Structure 1
Amino acid sequence: MRIVPAGKGRDIANSVRLEAGKMFKQQNMVLVILLIASLIMPWWAFNHYSKENPLLGGLMFFSFSILGLGSLVAYVLFLNVGKRMGAKLTSPKVIIDNFGRKTAPFFDATGAHAGAFLGDVLHDPFQTGGLGTPAHERVVAGMIHKAHMGVLF
């Protein structure tokens, strides 16, 4: 947890998300290269091995096709698992956003229940968006946090 000047929290959170997204752009280029290689290699194998024996050329075409498709499927599965693991990387969540606020915050906490007053961590899967949601994204700020350096009535 870190305190930043008003309006800077959004910028920091967005920059971290952009950096995480750049990691997967290079993987798409590798996927395109693998796709092109899986299309060219069987054709090359057929032309090269058909000179000696047409049956050998067909067999090599089939082998290279299966190898190319298998490597594509394995790479796509690797990408999906990598993106799921990357989603678990902690990106900051802006709990209290004072963007554009010129005056001290004022909150009337009269009659507020404990969760609204002190904050809460959502545990119900229907509230959290699934059990895969990291704990730091399930934190809900209370009025005591929102009124920091302001007025809590």
Structure 2
Amino acid sequence: MVDTAGEPEELPPVDSWISKVDFRSTAEVKIPERLVDQVIGQEHAVEVIRKASEQKRHVMLIGDPGTGKSMLARSMTEMLPREDLQDIIVYHNPEDPNEPKIRVVPAGKGREIVNAQKAEAMQRREQKASMVMTIVFFIIGLSVILSYNWGAPTPEFRTDAPNIILFGILVAAIIYIATRYTGHRQENLMVPKLLVSHTPDEMPPFVDATGSHAGALLGDVKHDPFQSGGLETPAH
């Protein structure tokens, strides 16, 4: 725990301080590249932040507004090891949709896995669509063939040919609708969701979690498992 308020220090008069500074304009002032080196007047807190980052420990900063708490916390992201970043992938759990499966992979691998799963799902969807269209045309063609009277000297349509063709079209339409709109949801569920994504050279994330209630900090819950008839939102 670090108290960033501290006791106020007595500063020298501005005129005497300026006379000792060797620069003519603010353009000559060198600004450190690292954020932690830009913090002024919080030497003890900076030391604690450096040690906590090196040892991967937690820090609680307490102080008045404007004393540099958020700046110090953000500076930790520049000192944390980037190679330890991880992606989090969420998979659908067919046994219990309300308890999805979680997988942790190295940074950058999550998006590759999700894109590969999407491409595989798209390929399966295209293969399924081709197979369905083949079945549909086969049924329609078979109904047209059966509507002919092949026993006659000259093949001609039977008297009930319209009914046979109409029945074939109806069966083909039912198969097409049933296979096209019932399997997409299951295929979409099999594609994992990328919950946390990083790039290998990305800095560790910093979240300024300031809120007066849990909804402001964590966000609203959009998952509704109590709907029926396929209207419930997937848990992942």
Q: Indicate whether 1:3 and 2:111 are aligned.
A: no
Q: Which residue of 2 aligns with 1:151?
A: none
Contact 1:7 1:98 in 2 (8 A): yes
- How far apart are the structure 2 equivalents of 1:84 and 1:21? 13
SS in 2 for 1:122: coil
2:204 — aligned with what? Answer: 104
1:65 aligns with 2:170: no
The whole-number CA distance in structure 1 between the counterparts of 2:220 and 2:112 is 25
Does residue 81 (structure 1) correspond to residue 182 (structure 2)? The answer is yes
Give CA deviations for 1:89-109 in whole Å, capped at 9, x if unaligned. 343211121125432323332
The residue number in structure 1 matching 2:97 is none
- Pair member with larger Rg: 2
Distance 1:25 1:53, change over 3 A: closer
Identify, as 1 or 2, the structure richer in strand.
Answer: 2
Q: Which has the higher helix share?
A: 1
Gaps of 5+ in 2: 1-101, 225-229
Letter in 2 for 1:37: F
RMSD: 3.3
Seq. identity, %: 33
- Structure 2 CA distance for partners of 1:27 and 1:2, relative to 1, 3 Å: closer
Alpha-carbon distance in 1 for matches of 2:200, 2:213: 28
Query: 2:103 is paired with a residue of what secondary structure?
Result: coil
Trace 1:102-141 onto structure 2 (pairs within 5 A). Answer: 102-111=202-211, 113-118=213-218, 121-123=221-223, 131-136=231-236
CA 1:44–1:85: 2 relative to 1, 3 Å: same
Q: TM-score, normalised by structure 2?
A: 0.44
Distance apart, 1:5 and its partner CA: 1.0
* Shift of residue 123, structure 1, vs aligned partner: 4.4
Q: Which amino acid in structure 1 is aligned with residue 170 of structure 2? A: G
- Where in structure 1 are there 5+ consecutive unaligned residues? 125-129, 137-153
Length-normalised TM-score, structure 1: 0.62
